[in-house]
Every structure is written in structure tokens, then in C-alpha cells.
Amino acid sequence: MRISVIGCGYLGAVHAACMADLGHHVVGVDVDPGKIAALAEGRAPFHEPGFPELLARALDCGRLTFTTDIARTADAQVHFVCVGTPQLPGSDAADMTYVDASVTALVELNKASGRTPIVVGKSTVPVGTAARLAAQLEAVGSTLIWNPEFLREGYAVNDTLSPDRIVYGLPQGPAGEAAREVLDEVYADQLRRKIPRLTTDYATAELVKVAANSFLATKISFINAMAEICELTGADVTQLAGAIGMDDRIGKKFLQAGVGFGGGCLPKDIRAFTARADELGAHDSVGFLREVDKINLRRRDRVVHLAQEALGDRLPGAKVTILGAAFKPHSDDLRDSPAVEVATRLSALGADVVVTDPAALPPLARLHPTLKQAEQIDGALKGADLVVLVTEWREFVILDPVETATLVNAPVIIDGRNVLNPAKWRSAGWTYYGLGRP
Ligand code: UGA
């Protein structure tokens, strides 16, 4: 198939390379010339395991090209819209500028070329968007399918090639049926492998995505709320999570209490959902998501307060080593990262903060040039008065407490992800603080 992918961020770049890997001819489009130049030269603009190899393979076989000129996609049979919908500054709502601009450009392209390719929306959007865009596209002969994406950063390639499920939001009738057949051809490999494909209406397809992310965010904030109660009662949230997770109606996953969720998806998606619910007159229906957000942000406060408690009056000028900058391991994404917030807040309180991270130092230097960084973990730890683990990279989780104690000035650690063994660290002479653990 001849495919275009509009928007070459995380979602789009990975989608484009995966589609080329499946045998399609793909043109990736983005308005950012720097990103397009990097991708065309086989340089990944973000850290994603497996993506550089996939990109190189797709470029080498000649099935993947990149451009800033959407007119070069005029012969595509399918256009995927993968642009971002970030949080609008000063509002909880999503910024729809890029989605709207993409669809307007596609409408113009149809008018100029006389072709009527199908358009597939993958961006995360407020419910009701697809119906609005479909009307614009129908007027120039194109059918829209809403096909939300569920990939996780760090596992993006696998999640794209082997998703848990594929969802199509479609109009009823022959146009929808014809478009479904085209998209089935694009995903023929996945469908042959019996990956479930569900067809539904636009609104349900849009809601599947936001409901899934809302549920995941709620699960994390639920266990973090339990951590707050554990802190007041001397209970241990890690044991609590282990015990309730054994009930497979609850499940163990996404019950890791700690400094909370960040990234470019969960925080902004729950906020955009509450903003959309307000517009629909359903303020109360997802009002609990405001609490989910608040619980999540309180966990960042908790880590800062623990640092203040640990250092007391000595905080100004104390050397604080922050282990982690990315919002989660296997990523260099700093969007809404709890690690970055903790580092900048402690720095603002006067601490001499040094950050280390296996992947995220280059973007950290660009976005927070005043934060000191150290490439080597040992260098970062040297002379520390306090160590704060905020991203659970394996490099940090396997640190040896005895060796680490020889590097620091004072053996005090805040385990912001509850990934260290407190008994082991305490017996090596450390003062250990976890979140929701005694
Ligand atoms: C999330 C969803 O998991 C994907 O399914 C979805 O497709 C994606 O958003 C999206 O909307 O594009 P992602 O943002 O990559 O994926 O990250 P997650 O793995 O969900 O982690 C989010 C945050 O939650 C991280 O900061 C992580 O550290 C935190 N987390 C996760 C916890 O604090 N505790 C947990 O138990 C699990």
C-alpha cells in the first residue's frame, strides 16, 4: 500500500517505520525540518529501544522516505494522522491546532489531486472530534476511520507491530465498509496473526483511548493514595499492592506506588478528558480524575518534603544527586517528568543538584540548561549529602549500597520508586526513605 504518516513524533515516526517494515511504501511528513532531516539520515530524534535498527532497515530498503512537503503524499491510498495534541497553555484542554491543520491540508490535497484516499486518525483527541473531521473529509470524498494508538514509550515498536487490540471507529454504510477493507489491507499482517480488531462508531473509538489512559492513571493514583495512608499508619504499600494484586480481578500491573506518573500522555489525557466532560455538561462523571491528578502531584511534593526532612537546615548548598530525569526508564522523554520537577524544585530551594540519567541528559541540557548534570553515576554520587532515585533505570536499581556508601558524603537515600531493598540499604549504613513504606 502507499501510505503517508502525518506527524513524525513518537507515534508517527514509529508507525511510519513499522508500516514500511510490514512492506508498505511510506512517506513520513512533519513541519519540523530538523526532525525530518534526522529521520531521513537514519538518526532517531528520541530514545526508543529497537527504533534506530527498524528505521535503518526501512530506509535501506527504500520503502520509507521523509518530507516537510505534504504535497508529496498526493498519491497515498491511506493517510495516517499522528500529530500531537498537547495540553493548551493555561487550560486543561488539548490543543487541536495540529490535528485541524493536518485535516485542512488533506482536504486541500484531495481538491488539487482529485483523489479520495482514506484518512486514519491516530492522535488522542477529545470525543466528538472524529465526527467533526469526518464531515470535512466527506465533503471531498474521503472516509475517516478513527484508529487510536495504545503504544507505550520504551516498547513502541513491539506495541505497534503487535498491539493488544486494533480499534476502528467507522461510519455505517458502504463508505465505512470500503474504508475498513482498505485499512484491513494495511494491517493484514496483524490480522493474520489474529490480533483482535474491533469495529465501532467514532465516539466509542475515541473514548476507548481516553478511558484506557484514565483507568491506568486512576490505578496508579489509587495505590499512591494508599501510600499516603500507609505513611500515616506505618503500613507498607509495596506489601499491600502485592497482596491486593494477587486477586486477578485487580491485577498486579500499574500498582507500583512512588513519585507518580508523568510523560506526554497520562497527565494531559486525564486533564483533556475532564475539560471535554465539562463541555458536555458531565463535570461530575469524570470529576474523580481531578482527584487522580491531585494525588499524583502530591507525590512529587512528598519527595521534596522528604528531602527537606532529611537535610533540614542544611538543604541550601547541600549536594543532592538525582538519579533519573526521564518520566520512566527506556525513554528520554522529559514531558511532565516527576524527576525533573523534583530536581528543579530542590534546586530552587538552594540545593546543589546534580542529575544523572542514562538517556535523557541531552534533552535535559536543552530544556533545563541551569541544572547540573553528570554522565557517570559514580561522578554524580561523589560527595552527595542526599541521593534521590526518581526514575527506575536498571543502572540505579542494581546499585550496590556498600560501594555507593563509599562515594557519598552522607548515606541518605530517598527511593522515589520503591525499587530498592530497604533492609539491604539500611544494613549498609544508609538512612532509607521510601514512599508509603515505613
Ligand atoms: C501510556 C499508556 O500506558 C499507553 O498505553 C498509551 O498508548 C500511551 O500512554 C499514550 O497515550 O500514547 P506511556 O506514557 O508511554 O504510555 O507510559 P506508561 O508506561 O503508561 O507510564 C506512565 C507513567 O506512569 C510513568 O511515569 C511511570 O513511571 C508511571 N507509573 C506506571 C507508575 O508510577 N506506577 C506504575 O505502576 C506504572
Residue 28 lies in a domain: yes
Q: What is the dihedral of CA 310, 314, 318, 322, to 10 degrees?
A: 20
Residue 205 lies in a domain: no
412-415 sheet: strands from edge to edge: 372-373, 352-356, 319-323, 386-389, 412-415, 431-433
328 lines ligand 1 (CB under 6 A): yes
CA distances from 279 to 68, 282, 318 (A): 35, 7, 48
Residue nearest atom 20 of ligand 1, based on CA coordinates: 152
Domain boundary residue, one of 152, 181, 200 = 200
345 and 428 co-located in one domain: yes
64-67 sheet: strands from edge to edge: 64-67, 25-29, 2-6, 78-81, 118-121, 144-146, 166-169, 197-200
Q: What are 393's three cell numbers?
A: 533505570
> What is the predicted pLDDT for the residue at 312?
97
260 and 131 co-located in one domain: no
Neighbours of 234 (CB within 10 A): 8
278 and 158 co-located in one domain: no
Q: For this structure, is 265 an active site residue?
A: yes
What does the pLDDT profile of the chain (438 residues) look like in tens digits? 999 999 999 999 999 999 999 999 999 999 999 999 999 999 999 999 999 999 999 999 999 999 999 999 999 999 999 999 999 999 999 999 999 999 999 999 999 999 999 999 999 999 999 999 999 999 999 999 999 999 999 999 999 999 999 999 999 999 999 999 999 999 999 999 999 999 999 999 999 999 999 999 999 999 999 999 999 999 999 999 999 999 999 999 999 999 999 999 999 999 999 999 999 999 999 999 999 999 999 999 999 999 999 999 999 999 999 999 999 999 999 999 999 999 999 999 999 999 999 999 999 999 999 999 999 999 999 999 999 999 999 999 999 999 999 999 999 999 999 999 999 999 999 999 999 999
265 lines ligand 1 (CB under 6 A): yes
**What total number of domains does the chain contain?**
2
195 and 271 co-located in one domain: no
Residue 211 lies in a domain: no
> What is the predicted pLDDT for the residue at 75?
95
> What is the predicted pLDDT for the residue at 292?
98
Residue nearest atom 23 of ligand 1, based on CA coordinates: 261
Residue 412 lies in a domain: yes
Question: Is the model's pTM score more than 0.95?
Answer: yes
Handedness of CA 28, 29, 35, 37 (dihedral sign): positive
> What is the predicted pLDDT for the residue at 332?
97
DSSP state of 328: S
Distance of CA 198 from the midpoint of ligand 1 (Å): 23
Q: Domain limits at 70? A: 2-200
258 lines ligand 1 (CB under 6 A): yes
124 and 268 co-located in one domain: no
152 lines ligand 1 (CB under 6 A): yes
9 and 145 co-located in one domain: yes
Domain boundary residue, one of 200, 227, 257 = 200
315 and 191 co-located in one domain: no
Burial 105-132 (b: 16+ CB within 10 A, else e): bbbebbeeeeeebbbbbbbbbbbebbbe
Residue 227 lies in a domain: no
291 and 392 co-located in one domain: yes
Residue 217 lies in a domain: no
Residue 223 lies in a domain: no
337 and 277 co-located in one domain: yes
Distance of CA 262 from the midpoint of ligand 1 (Å): 7
CATH code for the domain of 161 = 3.40.50.720
240 and 178 co-located in one domain: no
